[in-house]
Amino acid sequence: MQFRNFKMVDYVVYGRGAFNQVDEIIAPHRKGDFPMIFFLDHFFEGKPLASRVPLRGKDKIVFVDVTYEPKTTQVDAIAAELKAAFGEVSGIVGIGGGSTLDLAKAVALMMKNPGSSADYQGWDLVKQAGVYKVGIPTLSGTGAEVSRTTVLTGPTRKLGMNSDFTPFDQIVLDPELTKDAPANQRFYTGMDCYIHCIESLEGTFLNEFSKSYGEKALELCRKVFVEKNTWDEECDDQLMMASYAGGMSIAYSQVGVAHAVSYGLSYLLGTKHGIGNCIVMNHLEEYYPAGVKEFKHMVAKNNIDIPVGICANLSEEQFDAMINVSLGMKPLWENALGKDWEQIMTREKLRALYNKL
Ligand code: NAD
Ligand code: ZN
């Protein structure tokens, strides 16, 4: 038996107001007068957080448009611009939701690796460490702050640059930064974490390491979305730790059916990760009966709309494209359904599931 020896984030700071320590934390990582580049989610343009970014020398804020999830073309273009403008940079600091964090990780890697980020979509294809990179989440749930991947949509697939060089060198977990997230978005991204827990805990890859983190994350999600009646600071604090623990849980296991199906939606229709997972989870009673029941309760309790009928007008070719992307996620299916998953999840069965969404 070969156990996975995985690389983790090097440094973690957690606490309300921890953002104020960023200047001090990154100082030793400055290389001469090469700049630190801060990727700030475009939501924060003109907001107080933008003026709190600790700029020095040639440092620059790049407001990143996350209307669509990160693409390999976008990563390549930003890396090329930075190389043209500065030659080298001291590091990249991503401040935002999962999309901004992924963009920061990918660009940091592409500052030191030749070619296109599309060449590195897969497992362990990245060969050189990138530049110093810091992740500062402003939405809680994806676990992108702890994961060893950065999910990119490329010319032929949606797949991460999954490698030991991908995790952040430093993360700054400051729950205060999540306070202005709209309720729907907070729920969709928070459910990403809830679904990570269900898929990990119900999966065949589960071990005690994953279970310990998954159970804790699930408990925190329940405190926030089931027990509380109004959102407060404690909810932001708890959901940020749920995201971290949920990410740690899947580091040693894998996600499952909701993610495998949601990847197809995202590839074809551009459906965003959090909401896509919710759209799928709504129809997964057969695979996760207790989790889906609780999910529906949380949707109702938090007054959230989950879109329905998004596959209503698709052609057979489009269904085929989604099915191909989804069935390509082999480790996810194996985790969810076991080694014989191909006998269980046939194309017909998956076609029927997409039809319901
Ligand atoms: P997101 O980063 O796509 O952001 C969603 C929206 O929320 C955007 O409009 C953004 O501007 C806004 N936003 C962000 N922070 C805000 C705040 N504090 N207040 C108000 N608005 C705010 O959303 P997400 O759900 O965090 O991330 C989804 C992305 O993460 C997808 O691209 C997905 O592929 C990726 N992902 C990566 C991993 C990983 O391990 N690398 C895991 C899961 C998901
Ligand atoms: Zn996810």
**Minimum CA distance residue for ligand 1 atom 37:** 144
pLDDT reported for residue 170: 98
- Across 42-169, where does the E strand assignment appear? 60-64, 91-96, 122-123, 132-137, 151-153, 158-162
pLDDT reported for residue 155: 86
Question: What are the C-alpha distances in Å from 281 to residues 157, 225, 335?
Answer: 22, 16, 16
> Given a cut of 80, is residue 6 above it in pLDDT?
yes
> Given a cut of 80, is residue 1 above it in pLDDT?
no
What is the CA(186)–ligand 1 centre distance, in A? 9
**Minimum CA distance residue for ligand 1 atom 8:** 66
Is 11-178 assigned to CATH 3.40.50.1970?
yes
pLDDT reported for residue 157: 80
Distance in angstroms (rounded) separating the CA atoms of residues 256 and 337: 8
Is the model's pTM score more than 0.75?
yes
Which two structure tokens, joined as six digits, stand for 259? 């993610």
> Given a cut of 90, is residue 4 above it in pLDDT?
no
Per the model's pLDDT, the better-predicted residue between 122 and 1 turns out to be 122
Distance in angstroms (rounded) separating the CA atoms of residues 224 and 298: 10
Which pLDDT tens digit goes with each residue over 164-181? 999 999 999 999 999 999
Ligand 1, residues at Cβ distance < 6 Å: 41-43, 66, 69-70, 96-100, 102, 138-139, 142-144, 147, 149-151, 177-178, 180-181, 185, 189, 192, 272-274
Contacts of 187 (CB under 8 A, 6+ apart): 225, 278, 298, 299, 302, 304
pLDDT reported for residue 159: 87
> Given a cut of 90, is residue 25 above it in pLDDT?
yes
Contacts of 213 (CB under 8 A, 6+ apart): 245, 246, 248, 249
* CATH homologous superfamily of 183-356: Dehydroquinate synthase-like - alpha domain (1.20.1090.10)
- DSSP for residue 34: P
Residues of the chain with CATH 3.40.50.1970: 11-178
| Most distant CA pair in the chain, distance | 59
Task: Let me know how long the chain is.
Answer: 357
Average pLDDT over all residues of the chain = 96
- pLDDT level of residue 330 (50, 70, 90 thresholds): very high
What is the CA(60)–ligand 2 centre distance, in A? 30
- pLDDT level of residue 98 (50, 70, 90 thresholds): very high
pLDDT reported for residue 339: 96
Residues of the chain with CATH 1.20.1090.10: 183-356
